[in-house]
Amino acid sequence: MSTLYSTHSDFLYHDTGSGHPECPERLQHINKALSGPAFAGLIRVSPPLGTAAQIQLIHPHAHLENIQSAIPQQGLHYWDADTVLSSGSLQAALRAVGAVCDAVDRVLGKEANNAFCGVRPPGHHAEPDVAMGFCLFNNVAIAAGYARHQHQLERVAIVDFDVHHGNGTQAAFYQQPNVLYVSSHEMPNYPGTGHPRETGLGNIINVPLATGTNGVALRHQYQTLVLPALNAFKPELVLVSAGFDAHKLDPLSGINLVEDDYRWLTEALLAVADRHAQGRLVSVLEGGYHLQALAASVAVHVQALMAA
C-alpha cells in the first residue's frame, strides 16, 4: 500500500517558547525517526498553504481575523495560558490546514492509499470560534468538512486517540450526523469534556479512560464500543486525530500505552477503512510530548500504514 507523508519546514517556526511541551523538537524527532531505510517507500510531499475558504468550513471568518491580528512581529503572544503565538505561527497553522486538505485530495484521488500529516500546531481543541489547548485551527475537522464539501462524501468518521478529549472536533460536528466522531481519552484530564452522555445526534461516541488504563483495557474498549460503531456507520473516509500522549512515558497523561498499542489501533482502523472506505485513511498529528516515545510511536503508526 502506498502511504503519503506530508510535512513542511514551516511547522518548525511555530515558536511556543522555552519549556512548552508543544515544541518544534517534536517534529524534528518524528522526521528523524521517519528518515531511516524502513521508510524509503513513503511518498513525501510538501503541502500548500490552506485557504480562508477551507478554514471557513469550520471556523467563522472572524476567528481567522482574530488569529491574524494576534500574531506578534517578534517575541511571543499568549492567546491563553497554554496557547502561544509567534511570528511563524500563522504560516504554520495555514500550512497545517493545507496539508490535511491536500492529503484528502491525494488519497481520494488515488495518489496514495493513506496518509500521515506531520503538522504543528495541533488542532482538535480548537472550537469553531475559540483557539485553545495549543490549537489555532481544527485541522482534522477542516479535513472532514473539506471531504464532504469538496468531494461530496456522505459519511466521514473521525477517530481521536489523543489522551485529551477533542472538544473542538466534537463542537464542530455535534449537530451533523454525517460525521461520526469517536474519542478515547483520559478522564479527568484537560479539557474536562468528553462524557459518554455527550452524544450529539447519536454521532458522538466518547470513551473515557480511567487514569492507569493500559493497552489491554483500551483494546477491549475499542473492540466492544468503537469498532462496532465504526462498522455500523460505514464511513467513506476515516480520519484519525493521532495523538501519542497516552504513552506511558508522556508527561501530560496517566494512561499507560506502549508502541505496540499504537500499532494495534492503527491496524484496527485500517481494517475499518479497508472494509468500508476503499482503504482511504488520513491521519493527522495531534499530541505527544515525550520526544523519544512520540517518535517511536509515530514510527510504528506509519509502519502499519505502509504495511496495510
Residue 238, φ and ψ in degrees, nearest 5: -110, 125
* Residue 307 pLDDT: 97
* Residue 235 pLDDT: 99
Residue 171: CATH number of its domain: 3.40.800.20
* Residue 72 pLDDT: 98
Q: Which residue in 8, 63, 125, 165 is the catalytic one?
A: 125
CA dihedral 77, 141, 294, 222 (to 10 degrees): 140
Helix axes 89-108, 139-151, angle to 10 degrees: 40
Percentage above 90 pLDDT, the chain = 100
Domain containing residue 236: 3-307
CB 7 within 8 A of CB 99: yes
Please provide the average confidence, as pLDDT, over all residues in the chain: 98
Is 125 annotated as catalytic? yes
How far apart CA 278 and CA 262 sit, in angstroms, is: 22
CB 107 within 8 A of CB 282: yes
Residue 189, φ and ψ in degrees, nearest 5: -165, 165
Cell of 166: 477533542
How far apart CA 231 and CA 237 sit, in angstroms, is: 12
pLDDT single digits (tens) 234-257: 999 999 999 999 999 999 999 999
Number of domains in the chain: 1
Model confidence at 1: pLDDT above 70: no
How far apart CA 218 and CA 308 sit, in angstroms, is: 22
Cell of 51: 485557504
Percentage above 70 pLDDT, the chain = 100
pLDDT single digits (tens) 220-235: 999 999 999 999 999 9
Q: Is the pTM of this model over 0.95?
A: yes
pLDDT single digits (tens) 266-280: 999 999 999 999 999
pLDDT single digits (tens) 134-166: 999 999 999 999 999 999 999 999 999 999 999
* Residue 57 pLDDT: 98
pLDDT single digits (tens) 29-81: 999 999 999 999 999 999 999 999 999 999 999 999 999 999 999 999 999 99
